[in-house]
Amino acid sequence: MELFCIKVVGDGKKLGLKIGEKTGTDSTPIEIPHDPDGTYNGYYKKKMVKMHITSDYDHNIPLAKQVCGGTEDDNQYLECMLKKTAVSAEENMDETWFDGGYNCNKNIALAHVEFGLTCHYHIDQDWRKNVTYEHSFGGKTFIYTPEQKINYLYRKYWNEPDYRKDASLENMMKYLVKKGVHDPVAMYFRNPCVAAYEECPDGVLDVYHQRNHSEGVNSYMKENLGLETHINGKRMKNIDLHVTECCIVLLAVALTRLQHGITENLCSVAYLT
C-alpha cells in the first residue's frame, strides 16, 4: 500500500495534481459479530473493530490506514496516520481535517507544528475561550498568554545543548513539542479557532464539514468493496489484511487512470469487473 501511495502521488504530480494537499482522517466501525477480536462498542451498539483512514479530500484516495480495537481511543492514532501519509505526500500536505475523536491538545499541536498543517477540527462545547495561564511571583499573580507561556517554558531548557537564546516562536514551539509539551502550543492555535467559531459558527462549520469526504471513502469501501462482508478469516491480522487490500484496490484503480492521463473520478470502481 505504501508503494502504491508513493506511485499514485508521483504520477498525479506529473499531471498537475497535488494529491495529499487536503486530507481528512476519520474512523469507521467494522462489524464482526462472531470474531473473538471484536469488542462491543456501546456507542455503535455492535461488536466491532475500528478502521482509521486518512484520505485525499479532492480525489478520495486513501493514503494511510490503521485497524484497532473497537473501543480504543481515536486520539492515539492521528500522529501515526499523518506520518504514514507523509511518506508519499509530505511535500503536498497543507490542510487537514479531523473530528472530535482526534482533537486532543497533543494532536492539535503536532498537526500544526510537526507537520506544518492548517487544521480544521471539531470545536467541543466545553472548550473555554481565550485560554490563559496564571503564574505567581513575589506574591503577585500574572496572566500569561499561550505565546508567553511557550516562551516561559522554553527558557527552562537554557542549559540544554540545543537551546537557542534567540529562538523564534515557531522554533520554540517545535522544541517544546519534541519535549512532549503540547498544551500551550495547542492553545496558541486553538484560541483563534474558538474565537472564530463564537463569532461566526456557520462559517467555521462550513469549512469543517468538508470532512464528510473522508466518511464518504469509508462508506464507499463498505458499499462497493465488501469491507464488512468479505473478510477472509477471523482475528485482527486478517481484518487488517482485508482493509489493506480494499485500499490497494482503490489505489490501483487510481494509478491506472493516472497512467492513462485521466484526472477525474480516480477511485471509482463503477462498471469495473
Higher pLDDT, 100 or 216: 100
pLDDT digits (tens, 9 = 90+) for 46-88: 999 999 999 999 999 999 999 999 999 999 999 999 999 999 9
d(CA 45, CA 158): 52
* Pairing of β 140-144 and β 133-137: antiparallel
State pLDDT tens for residues 144-186: 999 999 999 999 999 999 999 999 999 999 999 999 999 999 9
Domain residue ranges of the chain, discontinuous segments joined by + = 2-123+207-259, 133-197
pTM above 0.85, yes or no: yes
- Angle at the Cα of 78 (from 116 to 129), degrees rounded to 5? 70
Q: Where are the beta strands (DSSP E) in the chain?
A: 22-31, 39-41, 46-56, 61-69, 95-98, 118-121, 133-137, 140-144
- C-alpha cell, 149: 507561556
Q: The domain 2-123+207-259 is classified under which CATH number: 1.10.8.10, 3.30.420.10, 3.40.30.10, 3.90.180.10?
A: 3.30.420.10
- Band of the pLDDT at 212, cuts 50, 70, 90? low
pLDDT band at 206 (very low <50, low <70, confident <90, very high): confident
CA 266 centroid distance within chain = 22
